[in-house]
Chains A and B, each alone.
Chain A
Amino acid sequence: MTRTIRSVFEETIASRIRPLAEAMQASDLIRVSVAETDLEIELIRHPRPAATPAAAVVDPSAAAASEATYEIVAADQVGIVRFTRPIAVEGTVLENDREIAYVEALGIRNPVRSKGKGRIASVFVIDGQAVEYGQPLFALDRGA
């Protein structure tokens, strides 16, 4: 039985990615890159607004308000994502609407725009990565 891409991927998640992710969670790291001879892993933690202790009483209106601060910019096309220069990284403040990336599909450049001002809170993809429909690309902090 040949090993499928999926089974290799699942093994990699179990043996390499999960321990790293657990270590990340135990610390306050938001980004970890590890490069080895056969494998390169980059883990980026999703922005999690104001972590609420599980036991605490949650005020739903407050949670909704803080969650609404981040807006996910997702891919509309299946294709290869490319960052537009100047490359927006975490922390980049966008003064107004601009193209932050594009998804290349069938030779067509489909722009991904910020649709207004904001601060890049997180970048979920790397340049040249294959993306599917609805895949999160950036988190934007509109309140910034």
Chain B
Amino acid sequence: MFRKVLIANRGEIALRINRACQELGVPTVAIFSEADRQSLHVRHADEAFCVGPGPVARSYLNIPNIISAALISGADAIHPGYGFLAENARFAEICNDHGLRFIGPKPSVIATMGDKATARRVMAEAGVATTPGSGIVDSIDEARLEIEKVGYPVLLKASAGGGGKGMREVHAPEDLERMFTTARAEAEASFNDGRLYVEKLILKPRHIEVQLLGDEQGNLVHLGERDCSIQKPSHQKLIEESPAFELPVHVRDRLYEMALAAGRAVNYTNAGTLEFLVSGEQIYFMEMNTRIQVEHPVTEMVYGVDLVKEQIRIAAGESLNFTQSDLHPVGHAIEVRVNAEDPSNNFAPAAGTLTRVEFPGGPGVRVDTHMFSGAQIPPYYDSMIAKIIAHARTREAAIARMERALAETRIEGVKTTIDFARDVLRDPNFIAGGVGVEYLATSFLPNWTAPGEPASV
């Protein structure tokens, strides 16, 4: 096991990793920006280093200061969490060059899967179905030619992308020029890489992803699927659940087979997720995330496996102490992401001070958060302030439990998505289950009225 682990992240995931390390008996080193000095992840770690000012480029992406903090504190491993440097193959290489174990897959695998266009090619070679689409399109004219092959509607996607950034739907030829320009500009601003590719837009698909864990001895298992179809108009996930409700058994089995085939094709190690679009019987590979994901707790709840601890054990060279036949999902888990955002104003992010914070508890409820009464939300970072997870025997009971948990939650000082999520949980179509990724943006939101607002006529 490691001597000491540096956690190269902030917020709830930094706390989550710290908890896993503490339970494994491994001391931790936190890093923080000047804006996060009072943050909970700094207080919970055994040691902490300020690595730069608030803006991420100078702190949480400041590779020299992060590596230096690891070396002078005597850490021998770095956990990148999600976002920031988690899928930066160069960072993983730099860690290895300095004798620091990067807790994640091999840098070459991160590079292969991180470049979405390359990943699609590798997956197609492994026999995993991908959405019809193109390689990199360098110009609007090239995009137009590729779109003619697959037909409208299409998605323009950033090759370096993720989290819905640099992604635009194009429904008609006359929209192409405008969408291409904005997608490229957004990709350049977000990833410093403006390369785009075209993907056929599958109508009303569900977003279903499969969790993989692989050790360095060659064992690879899946831990079922997560349905992440409830997404904001910006394609960011809002509610996730496991298992996917009423997914036909043969479709589910094919998803698992494809995910394992994909993992084997790249000799995948550590935790990773294969994201698919599922439309009826059709399954299309979208992308692979070579890191722990925000929504990992729903899998942990139904499988009773601590994915973050497994990541650390695997990176330390230990083999998985279970096989596929040992893994059995129990019940149903739902996660609601609580964001400091205003749902009635296009989910505009809010910064400020939380004057009052009360989180729910009780049976089957888990809260992953770095928030407390008096905590600041700096303007530089992601707007997610908590994840509330409810686990019960059935989906119906999990929804009821989540409603109860959200009713207990009080967050004052900034606008949040709590009331919005409660309205989604009460929506008959959500309750019926199996809605597609477009549902929230195109069906639910147009008919939704913010609490306290007069109903539109």
- The answer to whether A and B interact is yes
Residue positions of A touching B, CB distance < 8 A: 2, 4-6, 77-80, 105-106, 108, 130, 132-135
Residues on B with C-beta less than 8 A from A134 are 34, 50, 53
Question: Bound state CA distance, A6 and B207, in angstroms?
Answer: 43
Give the docked Cα–Cα distance between A2 and B73 (Å): 18
Report A-chain residues with C-beta under 8 Å of the C-beta of B49: 78, 132-133
Give 5 CB contacts A-B under 8 Å. A77-B65, A79-B68, A106-B67, A108-B64, A133-B50
Question: Is B51 positioned at the interface, with any CB of A under 8 Å from its CB?
Answer: yes
Contact: B71 with A106, CB < 8 Å?
A: yes
Q: Which 6 A-B pairs have the closest CB atoms?
A: A105-B68, A78-B65, A132-B50, A78-B68, A4-B46, A132-B49
Q: What is the bound-complex CA distance between A3 and B59, given in angstroms? A: 29
In the docked arrangement, what's the CA distance between A108 and B49, Å? 19
The 8 Å CB contact of B72, one of A5, A80, A133, A135, is A80
**CA distance in complex: A121, B358 (Å):** 47
The residue in chain B whose Cβ has the minimal distance to the Cβ of A4 is B46
Docked complex Cα distance between A105 and B49 (Å): 14
Q: Is the CB of B51 within 8 A of A133?
A: yes
Contacts of A79 in B (CB 8 A): 68, 72
Contact A132 B25 (CB under 8 A): no
Interface size on B, residues (CB 8 A): 23
Interface of B is mostly: mixed
Other-chain contact of B64, A2, A6, A106, A130 (Cβ < 8 Å) = A106
Contacts of B73 in A (CB 8 A): 130
CB–CB B25/A2 < 8 A:
yes
Q: In the complex, what residues of A have CB within 8 A of residue B52's CB?
A: 133
Residues of B within 8 A of A78 (CB): 49-51, 65-66, 68-69, 72
Task: Say how far A10's CB is from chain B's closest CB, in angstroms.
Answer: 11
Interface assignment of B47: CB less than 8 Å from any CB of chain A: yes
B27 close to A (CB within 8 Å): yes
- Complex CA gap A133/B53 in Å reads 8
CB distance B50 to A135 under 8 Å? yes
Among the listed B27, B51, B53, B67, which residue makes an inter-chain contact with A132, where contact means beta carbons less than 8 Å apart?
Answer: B51
Complex: how many Å from CA A132 to CA B47?
A: 12
Chain B residues near A132: list those with CB within 8 A: 49-51, 69
- Rounded to whole angstroms, the CA-CA distance of A19 and B27 in the bound complex is 29
User: Contacts A6-B46, A77-B68, A133-B53 given; 14 further ones with Cβ under 8 A?
Assistant: A5-B47, A77-B64, A77-B65, A78-B49, A78-B68, A79-B68, A105-B68, A106-B71, A132-B69, A133-B49, A133-B50, A133-B59, A133-B62, A134-B34
Taking CB atoms, residues of chain A closer than 8 Å to B46 are 4-6
A101 to B49: give the CA distance in the assembly, Å.
20
A106 B47 Cβ-Cβ under 8 A:
no
A101 to chain B: closest CB distance in Å? 16
Chain B 34-56 against A: per-residue CB contact (8 Å), 1 yes, 0 no?
10000000000111011111000
